[in-house]
Amino acid sequence: MRFADFISQQNKIYDLNDVNQNIKNDDMEMILNIIQKINNSLVLDEVLNLVLINAIRLAKADRGFLLLLDDSNELRYKVGMNINGEFLPEDEFEISQSVVRDSFELGESICIESAISDKNFQSRQSILNLELQTIICTPLITSGEKIGAIYVDSKKLMNIKKSEIVRIFEILAGHAAIAIRNAKLYQSLDKAFNEMQEIHERLIKAERLALKKEINSQVGQEVQNLVHLALLENESVLKKIQRINVNQPIDNETLQQLIQKLNIASESIRKIQRYSQALIVSTRFETTKKSGDINKTIRNVVGYIKKTNKFKNVTFELNIDKIPLIEYDHEQIEQVIINLVSNSVEKKSDCHIRISTFHDQENNLIIVKLNDNGPGIPPEIQKQIFHQRINTGYEGRGYGLLIAKKIIDNHNGKIYCVSEPGKGATFYFSLPVTVN
């Protein structure tokens, strides 16, 4: 019987109460419950699993398979199960391909009893090889379009009424086809939504980057103007000084002009310094936190930087304790560690760096400690290193510790330094352990 016979002129499935009065009430109730479960889900895999396991149980079959058309218009296996609802491995995906092909191409259900002895099918090698006795295959059709097939089989004769089971299977297949189509549509919409969301986020990032570039360009232009002004005033002062006769004292008017020009140059330089400071302070380090192991992050950083020329003469010692997982931005904490060890290496290229971790259970914090054997940091500088740019003449530009503090602040942690000149420096930073 063709499934099309179950579709009304308005392309709707007939009311189940009018389909066949010969179907048992228990079977009809079972079908209604199955259809309700299928229609309550929009997750494709869940729908496929529900359809197949119930088809197997309705037919009292040994196993079943569900096939769907792919993008190349070929029937492909989507799932295979046995009567216990256990998924079958792909090497057991062996069925009577000819029965599936006939059912799908004709758009009709095929139900075979005593397949081995049936004159129409006994010559089919797959049936003989698999020793199949009972086979049922029904195409999945929705809105006149064939989208797949349900196939079940058994090596024993199933105690079923052929006409009744075919009708039940076609009712199930009709609703299954609609549910599968809806689930696939939802899957496509969900994928499209996620892609649009990703594109939207990229656009926002692009807009922020463009705005940042525009601001940086404006700041850069302003800094360039200030540098130009300071240079002009300094050159003017230098020329006036060169014209002064050493045997003749400088007059008060010339002196005042020189002082004024030096004040202008000094103010320009101070503005340049404020612009640079503002750029560091205003930088937004947006954190993307995820659960992770700080110890693993430390090992990754050390393993990577040891291979670089800058750290080739450095000796690392890890003294890491067993600590709980925490939420943190992995890339940013890596940056903090790199900035701190770079600070040590810039003062002593062959230094020994000891990195320790421990869990402060009383305050529920993870503490990371980095100690070096470098020249140390003078007390007057220790008070400033996390609050303003400090460049003591080493290769660094003085921004590393400012950035490290910004990152740790954004993680609701603390960072500080203990050092005595000539006895190395020790940096500490803490990160909170989030209690779920």
Distance from C-alpha of 185 to C-alpha of 388, rounded to nearest angstrom: 57
Q: Quick one: tokens of 400?
A: 């590393």
Decide which of 196 and 191 is more confident: 191
Of 374, 320, 311, which Cα lies nearest the Cα of 348?
374
- Judged against a pLDDT cut of 80, whether residue 52 lies above it is answered with yes
135 versus 206: which is more confidently predicted? 135
210 has a pLDDT exceeding 60: no
Q: How far apart are CA 165 and CA 171, in angstroms?
A: 10
Predicted TM-score (pTM) of the model is: 0.42
Pairing of strands 414-419, 352-360: unpaired
Arithmetic mean of pLDDT, 333-361? 90
Inform me whether the pLDDT recorded for 227 exceeds 80. Answer: no
Categorize the per-residue pLDDT at 13 as very low, low, confident or very high, splitting at 50, 70 and 90: very low
Asked if residue 273 has pLDDT above 70, the reply is no
Least confident of 44-58, 126-140, 170-184, 231-245: 231-245
Query: Which of 81, 60, 52, 54 minimizes the C-alpha distance to 155?
Result: 60
Query: Residue 352 forms beta bridges with which residues?
Result: 315
The stretch 264-271 carries a mean pLDDT of 73
Distance CA 366, CA 409 (A): 14
Answer for the pair 60, 30: CB distance below 8 angstroms, yes or no.
Answer: no
Residue predicted with more confidence, 160 or 431: 431
Q: What is the mean pLDDT of residues 112-116?
A: 71
Higher pLDDT, 185 or 354: 354
| CA 80/CA 86 separation, integer angstroms | 8
Query: Do the beta carbons of residue 12 and residue 156 sit within 8 Å?
Result: no
- Both structure tokens of 85: 């609802």
> For residue 388, what pLDDT is reported?
60
Q: Which string of b and e fits 240-269 if b means at least 16 CB within 10 Å?
A: eeeeeeeeeeeeeeeeeebeebeebbeebe
pLDDT at 57: 86
CB 373, CB 348: distance < 8 Å: yes
Which pairs from 119-122 meet CB under 8 Å and 24+ separation?
A: 121/96
Give residue 80's pLDDT band: very low, low, confident or very high (50, 70, 90).
Answer: very high
Give the pLDDT mean for 217-236: 69
Which of 410, 418, 409 has the alpha carbon at shortest distance from 383?
A: 418
Q: Over the stretch 392-404, which tens digit does the pLDDT of each residue have?
A: 444 444 567 877 8
